[in-house]
Amino acid sequence: MALDHRPRPATQSDVAREVGVSRTLVSFAFRGAPGVSDETKQAIFDAAKRLGYRPNAVAADLARKHRSAVGLYLMDIRNEVYADILSGVRTALHQDRNRLILSVSRSVDGEDQGALESLMEARVGIIIAATLLDSDERAQELAKLVPLVSVTRRIEGVDSVHSDDAAGARAATEHLIRLGHTRIAHLAGPAYDGHTVRRESYAKTMRDAGLKPLTLAAEDFTQDSGERAAARLLGMADRPTAIFTHNDQLALGAREAAYAGGLSVPADLSLVGYDNSRTSRLHGIDLTSIDLHAVELGRRAGVAALNRLMDPEAPIADERLLPELVVRNSTAPPREGSWHPSP
């Protein structure tokens, strides 16, 4: 039988022997507990570094009967808005001892619960979720098992940090109306709980302007899905001269569908996205988009999570940010004679 010659990981007992103190004092030093002088604490940390000792944060949580880790659930890491949310969360947690454990959904169809379950199995103290596709009821049930902060979506009875989607969709639609467009379509995502505000606000804004709404739901929130759905819109006899999409990914898909159909943006088709992602700002794309301030949403969600960990009985947080229309070169007045309305 082969012997395992790998070195044994250093323990707190090894550090204690190296410094000449008790293992309990070493534990106190790494937990930041009072009663350890600065000189002794530094000696312990120096010895730990020499020996290669790394504290087991999960074991420390179990010993304290307190879960300090923060879990971050991201719906789709391919969408840059979630990378921005992650950046904001990390900023909020940077000066804190709390660990951040990341879990990303493998799908965007609302059926994958594995990512959330993995955070619960890791015994996190709280979950920051961006963006949940579950129903309100399921999200509220999850919050009973582990504290929850919802980002980008407001959920009743759950700490929520979100953008004013009604205002954002209204700004996007009114921008296109002011340019002179009357045939404006909305490329929406699937109608999950909490994800229909943008389509509803678009439709109301159109009706208030005396215009007929035209909404088509894509299969999911990805660029490929947006391209397929937009091709259907652009294949209509009276195709829209402008499309407002649920997010930038769908807008980029619509852009590809336009060019594949021999149309140019914005001469033949104006496009407005939602998220103000990094890609939308690239030269040559220049996508007009709604900035929901994703980094700030993430930062505030991180702060809300830390506040909830410190005070489980605090009132429910409900923070709403006002989005901003960022006009670039993907929108312009409609080309005269580019379409004819239905009778």
182-225: pLDDT as tens digits: 999 999 999 888 889 999 999 999 999 999 999 999 999 999 99
Is the model's pLDDT at 246 over the cut of 60? yes
Partners of 159 in the β-ladder:
149
The whole-angstrom distance between residue 239's C-alpha and the CA centroid of its chain comes to 33
Best-predicted range by mean pLDDT (27-31, 144-148, 289-293): 289-293
pLDDT of 97 > 70? The answer is no
Above pLDDT 90, what percent of the chain? 61
Q: Considering only 109-113, 136-140, 287-291, which range has the smallest mean pLDDT?
A: 109-113
DSSP tally for the chain: helices H, then strands E: 12, 12
Question: Which residues does residue 73 pair with via DSSP β-bridges, in sequence order?
Answer: 103, 129
Is pLDDT of 7 > 70?
Answer: no
Q: What is the reported pLDDT for 308?
A: 93
pLDDT band at residue 121 under the 50/70/90 scheme: confident
- Pick 66 or 167 by higher pLDDT: 167
Distance of CA 244 to the CA centre of its chain: 20
Q: Which pLDDT band holds residue 118 (cuts at 50, 70, 90)?
A: confident
The more confidently predicted of residues 138 and 7 is: 138
Greatest CA separation for the chain: 91
Q: What is the pLDDT of residue 337?
A: 58
Share the mean pLDDT of the chain: 88
| Mean pLDDT in residue range 299-320 | 94
Tell me whether residue 104 is exposed, middle or buried, using C-beta atoms within 10 angstroms of its C-beta: 0 to 12, 13 to 18, 19 or more. middle
pLDDT of 60 > 60? The answer is no
**Confidence (pTM):** 0.78
Query: For residues 32 and 46, which has the higher predicted lDDT (pLDDT)?
Result: 46
Residue 222 burial (10 A CB sphere; 0-12, 13-18, 19+): buried
